[in-house]
């Protein structure tokens, strides 16, 4: 598509007004990158990273298994086993890189798309699928793996993360928190309030924005006129844009950000510049609002292919390794398929189960009413 | 705690006791530190407990409740002050979609022991957004508990009970009664969610909570001069409601009148009338009547006395109930 409006073209060229649609694309210096799309290792003076071949292989395994799990969930939705799925396709490096940067005591507050972070926190993938199948609304224990519940209301979790971080400070602990959100959420009041609270209380929280360029059908240009990471400066803390498809850069930048936070230096905003390769969710149709050319261009920056290219170029992994990961991926797919298909519906009385933690007469009364009503059908033709 | 205390002081003492008894209790809100809150409910607490436990926050209600949720997830027991009723709406999502549901969404794995204190109601000659009664929004939301004291004793003990609850509690403080004084007893006398008959009677039951309890007591006193004996029930808890106490009273008197400042349409009175009609149908001499605010934005203060139920409007409803 050609740009027809000359006024728009002029506006783009105006000095001092960065074009967010183009910002960070290509080799702009502000984008931290440690692994090129071709798989070549580059250095960044501020974010050095030493990784062993074993760590590289482990990251590759994470990326492949996370993508496989995600693809399996998309298929299960198509087969009617899940009501909905929000695919992370394309964002594996942003999630695995940041997830692996965390220490055991750190906490993650996710949106509904952080399947790769959950993987790194050792959350059973099947736990994530309960809400998409409709058997619960989350259900896992957030404190077991320090991975909090998925949050669907956009941006709300950034405040929970900030409050949690305030608690860490009170406890005198040196843990840190990552608040995950997206480019769309950056417009939400809650996110801006979280920036304010974290800033004035100097809380140990890393705001990790996966800028995947699209909030359903709305491009980032509808959320911001400046690159998102620069929002941080207005709140008084550092912001960094990292190549979100470069797992090594994300790992290095997030590690730095978490250390910055946990050592009492306050919050950091990391903007992981990436791309949502798939639809917003399985209910979405991106062909109505974006061009195939754009998606194709991002394919060349694929996070898995570039790490594979690196491993191959440097001779750090052999065929047996790749075959092993592939076999493991098949096994994971099978486990997820079987696990979802055999996931039982809850007993209807689950409705009443956890409305309150302490006894509540109205809930008890309505449960009794329901149970009596249900029992009236027992042995009858309706049951 | 013998002696006469104002509701404001009784609340202040309750916060002090809660801060003393549980190191995980923290207070959060706007101007609650050095200033002691715009109503001075937190007066002196930051000085005694430090700014780490009595926390002045940025002016962002959603941020206050949202970060309180995070603190609760970390094991804290936050008590949040919303400065005025009309300022709570920016926090509506955090209260209704996050706070109320977190325990259920986690299948019971986490608790949300958060108290949201809100001065509510009118009658103080305030500018707009400072006189609202929004209890129905919160009482309508499963996962929240909603209570409102009417006197210093309840203000003190119900706040301590609310803070001790592992569920989120919206605690509505009748701001026009803040300076009313009364005895605060040595123990709570009732569980948090029990109603209380504050004046026995035989001819009709007046049901009220928060600021309207006093109006109903005055109405009952006036009615007695006309030879009518009105019972007054202080609801105290708006969610859950102590229907057993209400049912017993209304069955005995045969008539019930619900009084609140909030608009009548879909107000708490609608639910009370419906349920009491179901429970007391064969005992009723008249429909359950409601007295409350009109279906209009809360008015400018020079005409708020017209909007708010008063002794005459309550007695007018009593006349109508007795005429059936």
Using DSSP's 3-state secondary structure scheme, residue A211 falls into: strand
* pLDDT confidence band for B3 (50 / 70 / 90): confident
Question: Taking a C-beta distance cutoff of 8 angstroms, is the pair B54, B46 a contact?
Answer: yes
Task: Kindly state the percentage of chain B with pLDDT values over 70.
Answer: 99
CB contact under 8 A, B166 and A357: yes
At residue B172's C-alpha, the angle toward residues B171 and B176, to 5°, is 145
> Which of B162, B167, B176 shows the shortest CA–CA distance to B210?
B176
Which residues of A participate in catalysis according to the annotation? 276, 280, 289
Evaluate the omega torsion of the peptide bond into residue B240 and state whether it is cis, within 30 degrees of 0.
yes
User: Cα(B102)–Cα(B92) distance, rounded to whole angstroms?
Assistant: 14
Q: What is the mean pLDDT of residues A187-208?
A: 98
**Chain A residues inside the 8 Å CB shell of B62:** 159, 189-190, 193
* pLDDT confidence band for B317 (50 / 70 / 90): very high
**Residue A140 distance to chain B (closest CA, Å):** 6
Q: Where does chain B hold its CATH 3.40.50.970 domain(s)? A: 4-183
Q: Where does chain B hold its CATH 3.40.50.920 domain(s)? A: 196-323
Note the Cα A33 to chain centre separation in Å: 19
Q: In the predicted model, what is the mean pLDDT of chain B? A: 97
A223-240 confidence digits (pLDDT tens): 999 999 999 999 999 999
**Long-range contact set of residues A370-376: C-beta below 8 Å, sequence gap at least 24:** A374/A348
CB contact under 8 A, A159 and B94: yes
Point out the residue among B71, B103, B108 whose CB comes nearest to the CB of A167.
Answer: B71
**Chain B residues inside the 8 Å CB shell of A153:** 93, 97-98
CB contact under 8 A, A193 and B193: no
B112-154 confidence digits (pLDDT tens): 999 999 999 999 999 999 999 999 999 999 999 999 999 999 9
**Residue A380 distance to chain B (closest CA, Å):** 28
Looking at domain B196-323, which CATH architecture does it have?
Answer: 3-Layer(aba) Sandwich (3.40)
CB contact under 8 A, B240 and A197: no
Look at residue A355 and tell me whether its pLDDT is greater than 90. Answer: yes
Look at residue A3 and tell me whether its pLDDT is greater than 90. Answer: no
* pLDDT confidence band for A13 (50 / 70 / 90): very low
Task: Kindly state the percentage of chain A with pLDDT values over 70.
Answer: 91
* pLDDT confidence band for A380 (50 / 70 / 90): low
> Which of A101, A267, A286 shows the shortest CA–CA distance to A193?
A267
Point out the residue among A159, A167, A363 whose CB comes nearest to the CB of B62.
Answer: A159
**Chain B residues inside the 8 Å CB shell of A185:** none
Lowest mean pLDDT among A28-37, A49-58, A265-274, B203-212: A28-37
Q: What is the mean pLDDT of residues A329-357?
A: 97
* Residue that wins the pLDDT comparison between A139 and A28: A139
Looking at domain B4-183, which CATH architecture does it have?
Answer: 3-Layer(aba) Sandwich (3.40)
Measured between CB atoms, does B25 come within 8 Å of chain A? no
For strands B289-293 and B256-263, give the pairing: parallel
User: Residue B1: what pLDDT?
Assistant: 62
Which residues of B participate in catalysis according to the annotation? 130
B32-46 confidence digits (pLDDT tens): 999 999 999 999 999
At residue A351's C-alpha, the angle toward residues A348 and A354, to 5°, is 130
Question: Taking a C-beta distance cutoff of 8 angstroms, is the pair B32, B50 a contact?
Answer: no
Q: For residue B77, what are the β-bridge partners?
A: B25
Q: pTM of this prediction?
A: 0.94
* pLDDT confidence band for A107 (50 / 70 / 90): very high
């Amino acid at each position: 598509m050609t740009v027809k409006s000359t006024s728009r073209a002029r506006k783009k060229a105006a000095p001092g007004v960065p074009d967010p649609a183009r910002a960070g694309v290509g080799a702009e210096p502000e984008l931290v990158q440690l692994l090129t799309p071709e798989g070549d290792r580059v250095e960044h003076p501020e974010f050095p990273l030493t990784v062993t071949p074993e760590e590289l292989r482990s990251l590759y395994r994470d990326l492949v298994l996370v993508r496989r799990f995600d693809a399996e969930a998309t298929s299960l939705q198509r087969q009617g086993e899940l009501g909905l799925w929000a695919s992370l396709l394309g964002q594996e490096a942003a999630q695995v890189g940041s997830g692996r940067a965390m220490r055991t005591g750190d906490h993650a507050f996710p949106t509904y798309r952080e399947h790769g972070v959950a993987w790194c926190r050792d959350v059973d993938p099947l736990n994530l699928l309960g809400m998409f199948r409709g058997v619960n609304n989350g259900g896992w224990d957030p404190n077991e793996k320090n991975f909090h519940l998925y949050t669907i209301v956009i941006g709300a979790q950034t405040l929970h993360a900030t409050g949690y971080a305030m608690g860490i400070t009170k406890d005198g602990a040196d843990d840190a928190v990552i608040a995950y959100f997206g480019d769309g959420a950056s417009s939400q009041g809650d996110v801006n309030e979280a920036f304010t609270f974290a800033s004035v209380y100097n809380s140990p929280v890393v705001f990790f924005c996966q800028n995947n360029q699209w909030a359903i059908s709305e491009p980032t240009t509808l959320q911001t006129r400046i690159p998102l990471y620069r929002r941080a400066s207005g709140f008084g803390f550092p912001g960094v844009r990292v190549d979100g498809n470069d797992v090594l850069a994300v790992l290095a930048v997030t590690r730095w950000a978490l250390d910055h936070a946990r050592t009492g230096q306050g919050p950091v905003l990391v903007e992981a510049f990436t791309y949502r390769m798939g639809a917003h969710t399985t209910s979405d149709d991106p062909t109505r609002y974006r061009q195939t050319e754009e998606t194709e261009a991002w394919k060349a920056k694929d996070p898995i292919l570039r790490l594979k290219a690196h491993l191959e170029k440097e001779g750090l992994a052999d065929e047996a390794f790749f075959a092993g990961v592939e076999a493991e991926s098949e096994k994971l797919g099978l486990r997820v398929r079987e696990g979802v298909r055999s996931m039982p519906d809850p007993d209807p009385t689950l409705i009443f189960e956890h409305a309150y933690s302490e006894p509540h007469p109205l809930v008890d009364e309505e449960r009794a009413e329901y149970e009596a009503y249900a029992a009236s059908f027992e042995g009858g033709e309706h049951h | 705690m013998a002696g006469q205390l104002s509701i404001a002081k009784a609340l202040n003492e309750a916060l002090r006791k809660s801060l003393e008894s549980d190191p995980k209790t923290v207070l959060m809100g706007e101007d609650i530190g050095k200033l002691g809150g715009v109503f001075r409910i937190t007066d002196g607490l930051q000085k005694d407990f430090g700014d780490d436990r009595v926390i002045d926050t940025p002016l962002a209600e959603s941020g206050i409740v949202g970060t309180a949720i995070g603190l609760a997830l970390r094991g804290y027991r936050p008590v949040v002050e919303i400065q005025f009723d009309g300022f709570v709406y920016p926090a509506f999502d955090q209260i209704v979609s996050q706070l109320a549901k977190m325990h259920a969404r986690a299948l019971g794995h986490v608790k949300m022991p958060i108290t949201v204190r809100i001065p509510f109601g009118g009658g103080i000659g305030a500018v707009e957004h400072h006189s609202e009664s929004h209890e129905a929004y919160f009482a309508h939301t499963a996962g929240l508990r909603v209570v409102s004291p009417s006197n210093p004793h309840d203000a003190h003990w119900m706040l301590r009970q609310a803070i001790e609850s592992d569920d989120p509690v919206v605690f509505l403080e009748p701001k026009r009664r803040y300076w009313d004084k009364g005895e605060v007893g040595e123990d709570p006398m009732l569980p948090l969610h029990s109603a209380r008959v504050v004046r026995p009677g035989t001819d009709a039951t007046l049901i009220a909570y928060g600021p309207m309890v006093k109006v109903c007591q005055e109405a009952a006193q006036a009615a007695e001069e006309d030879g009518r004996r009105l019972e007054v029930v202080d609801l105290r808890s708006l969610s859950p409601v102590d229907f057993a106490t209400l049912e017993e009273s209304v069955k005995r008197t045969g008539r019930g009148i619900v009084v609140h400042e909030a608009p009548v349409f879909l107000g708490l009175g609608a639910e009370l009338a419906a349920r009491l009609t179901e429970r007391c149908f064969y005992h009723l001499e008249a429909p359950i009547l409601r007295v409350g605010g009109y279906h209009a934005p809360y008015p400018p203060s020079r005409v708020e006395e017209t909007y708010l139920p008063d002794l005459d409007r309550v007695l007018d409803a009593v006349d109508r109930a007795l005429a059936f």
